[in-house]
Homo-oligomer: A and B are copies of this chain.
Amino acid sequence: EILAAIGSYFGADAPLAGRKALVTSGPTHEPIDPVRYIANRSSGRQGHAIAAALARLGAATTLVTGPTQQPDPPGVTVRHVESARDMLAACQAALPVDAAVCAAAVADWRVASAADQKMKREGHDGLKLEFTQNPDILATLSEVGNLRPRLVVGFAAETENVIDHARAKRARKGCDWIVANDVSPATGTFGGAENTVHLIVDGASEPETWPRMSKADVGERLARRIADHLIQPAAEASSA
């Protein structure tokens, strides 16, 4: 019975059979010089788990990931990138898709002019670096246009006022849903196996707070929510 249920997901009756999904995961690395870089704390566990779950539900899934220690999930097309600009290009190359989930911790800034050679410690006592904004992958994918995915889901990693910041981020980026999580060091979410998230859905009055669960289970639950949304009749879905 269990085997039959698993098997069915790979058949035509899997809920996301015939659909395409795009997931971003991991950090980006932005070079300062050949040996130094700026990174975000992100293990890639959550994004990889989401991609794996979408693939299990039958979606043709592309995972665009920064440098992580996570193995490539089975049944997923994986594109490995380093910088935010590379990640955006790989995402755009994966369009069109039905759903995009931006779980990567993309560096907001990069050094305005990275050095070609290693900077020497000497003569740089009060080093100053100037930064320029990276492209905003979530906002770019959310822009209205022919290639906008029907459902765009963002993540908001916050350390204070988690819900308020996440609501504001959803509106600002133009995405449909936001998964908000508290990544304060005390929560152990970064690099850990568990996550406590709040799902904020466009139009819904209150965020859904999910119980603390493994990142694999968050991925599974989110993938099922995405499947439920995509298999609604189009008229109903377009209002969400």
A165 to chain B, nearest CB (A): 8
A101 within 8 A of B: no
- A69: nearest residue on chain B (CB-CB)? B69
- Chain A stretch 42-94: residues in CB contact (< 8 A) with chain B: 69
A127 to B161, CA, bound (A): 23
A232 within 8 A of B: no
A104 within 8 A of B: no
A235 within 8 A of B: no
A121 within 8 A of B: yes
A128 touches B131 (CB 8 A): yes
Partner of A130, one of B39, B128, B132, B184: B128
B35 touches A157 (CB 8 A): yes
- A184: nearest residue on chain B (CB-CB)? B34
- Chain A stretch 110-158: residues in CB contact (< 8 A) with chain B: 117-119, 121-122, 124-133, 136, 157-158
A103 to chain B, nearest CB (A): 14
A205 to chain B, nearest CB (A): 25
A238 within 8 A of B: no
A213 within 8 A of B: no
B133 touches A190 (CB 8 A): no
B160 touches A36 (CB 8 A): no
A32 to B32, CA, bound (A): 14
A210 within 8 A of B: no
A108 within 8 A of B: yes
A107 within 8 A of B: yes
Q: Which of A36, A105, A157 has the most CB of B within 10 A?
A: A36
A35 to B106, CA, bound (A): 11
A78 to B108, CA, bound (A): 35
B69 touches A107 (CB 8 A): no
Q: Can you identify 18 A-B contacts, CB atoms within 8 angstroms?
A: A34-B184, A35-B41, A35-B105, A36-B40, A38-B38, A38-B39, A69-B69, A108-B124, A109-B121, A109-B124, A117-B160, A118-B159, A118-B160, A118-B183, A124-B131, A126-B131, A127-B130, A128-B128
Q: Which 3 A-B pairs have the closest CB atoms?
A: A127-B131, A108-B121, A118-B159
